[in-house]
Structure 1
Amino acid sequence: MSSPQFDALVFDVLGTLVDEPAGIRAGIRRLDPALDDAEVERLLALWQRHVEEAQGQMLDGSRPYLPSDALDLETAALVAEAAEVKSADAVRELAFAARTPPPWPDTVEGLELLAGRFPLIGLSNASRTALLDLNAHAGLRWHQALSAEDATAYKPDAAVYRLAVTVSGAPPERLLMVAAHAWDLRGAQALGLRTAYVARPVGDPPATSDRFDLYADGLADLAAQLSR
């Protein structure tokens, strides 16, 4: 069956195009080079758990919205305290590490390939400031990069996906949301966007009940499927 045609591709960034845990892990190692691997992973899990819980509280309205750069600083302070590091400069450096994760090996070439055929829209939970650093550090090519900060919300809130619909000027069914997180794709699906799951080591795999339009091993595979 031939793939549907789309007016634009909408990409998640964190985890889908960049290895977010690797960036934070590197920041934790710089925070205290004496930490062993087990302790680094414990602190990484603490970071991830706090961010997930805080964003969940913002989504359910039990906590006021805070953009990701401010949340990263809050989380870095928590992790530094757990590591018994008291330097304010070290906390700021750790927070910045969340903005400089490495791209996946196929990201830059894959975006370049797809950009020749489709308008590409980045749609990230990262704040405007963080997204600028992410794009620059990872060498991400966009025709438009949108931050969830513009919706004062986090994905999977519908207001975030609506940003891409508004900017594209296209109906939701003419947009393809690309992500390594099934929860992200479900959020886009609820607003009527088409969906493509791209497998990544740090993503959220689909459940057996999920029905996405495309499933790809990477960006080259996605491009090949879209060219059929």
Structure 2
Amino acid sequence: MLRDITTIVFDVLGTLVDEPGGLRIAIEEAGGSPRDSDELLGVWQRHIEGEQRRIARGERDYVDSGILDREAATRVAQTAGITDTGTIDRLATATRRLPAWPDSCEGVARLAARFHVLGLSNANPESLRALGEHAGLRWHGALSADAVEAYKPSPRVYRLAVEVAGGDPERVLMVAAHAWDLRGAGDAGMRTAYVPRPVGDPPAETDAFDGRFSTLAGLADALD
């Protein structure tokens, strides 16, 4: 049972907003062919994920998500033959304009009426602020992994959320569509709730999260 929760922490990219869908739209707007958009999206995602892993292994000094996004946009532009600098600049800020999932805004607002609601993201503070406004996410605040110069699932990121929430991980609920994210939160002592999204990372049979809900409305009902 999810009892005594005071703070709800949401993963943002993929859980509250459609990151791949929004990036695909931005790539096509930049001039990438719709028939190649999946391939170009893969170029972006492989660069971001690969560089975050390199940073985690100590093979690269920490840089924030804005730098990684610009690198990814440059790679996509090179692959697609996009040369206009203004177009590439706009593509590099695509993560600031991702669309919310249909139930995200209402779900966040409903939960924020009863709990302290925070976003927790690998996006840098500038991107996170812009994204929250663009997507209409009325949370009480958003925490960037940039504050601890690490990327999820580094334990430092989850400890940051627990500290901001008051220090008791048992009263903090992490909500995500990515099982790997919830495992990291659980290792930090946080309570965990899985909500499926088309772009998420489904749980394994061995995952023992505190709750699994088909929608944010279902999560809110369980917490009422």
* Correspondence for 1:73: 70
Q: Which residue of 2 aligns with 1:26?
A: 25
Residue 133 (structure 1) aligned with residue 130 (structure 2): yes
| 2:195 paired residue number | 198
Q: Would you say the 8 A contact 2:7–2:117 is kept in 1?
A: yes
Instruction: Return the alpha-carbon distance in structure 2 between the equivalents of residues 7 and 102 of structure 1.
Output: 27
Q: Take 1:142 and 1:111, find their aligned partners in 2: how far apart are those partners?
A: 7
TM-score, reference length from structure 1: 0.96
8 A contact 2:109–2:139 mirrored in 1: no
Gaps of at least 5 residues in structure 1 are none
User: 1:189 and 1:222 mapped to 2: Cα distance?
Assistant: 18
**4+ residue runs over 4 A deviation:** none
Q: Is 1:44 equivalent to 2:41 in the alignment?
A: yes
Task: Specify which of 160, 163, 173 is matched with residue 163 of structure 1.
Answer: 160
> Which residue pairs with 1:184 in the alignment?
181
Match of 1:123 among 120, 123, 126: 120
The code of the aligned residue for 2:11 comes to: D
| 24-33 or 174-183, which deviates more | 24-33
Deviations 1:192-212 (A, max 9, x none): 101000111110110111110
Question: Can you list the C-alpha shifts for 1:97-153, whole angstroms capped at 9, x where unaligned?
Answer: 121110001011111111111110111110011101111100111112110110101
Query: Which secondary structure does the structure 1 equivalent of 2:96 belong to?
Result: coil
Letter paired with 2:58 = G
Task: Measure, in 2, the Cα distance between the counterparts of 1:111 and 1:217.
Answer: 15
Does structure 2 retain, via aligned residues, the 8 Å contact 1:9–1:175?
A: yes
Write out aligned runs for 1:53-132 (5 A): 53-132=50-129
Q: Unpaired segments of 5 or more residues in structure 2? A: none
Matched-pair contact (CA < 8 Å) for 2:5–2:171:
yes
Deviates most, 3-12 or 119-128: 3-12
Pairwise CA RMSD:
1.0
Q: Counterpart of 2:99 in 1: which secondary structure?
A: coil
> Displacement, 1:68?
0.7
The structural deviation recorded for 1:5 is 2.1
2-side partners of 1:147 and 1:98: how far apart? 14
Query: What CA distance in whole angstroms lies between the structure 2 residues aligned with 1:170 and 1:118?
Result: 16
Q: Say which SS state the counterpart of residue 212 (structure 2) adopts.
A: strand
Give yes or no for the alignment of 1:147 onto 2:144. yes
> Contact 1:26–1:97 at 8 Å: present in 2 too?
no
Q: Number of paired residues? A: 224
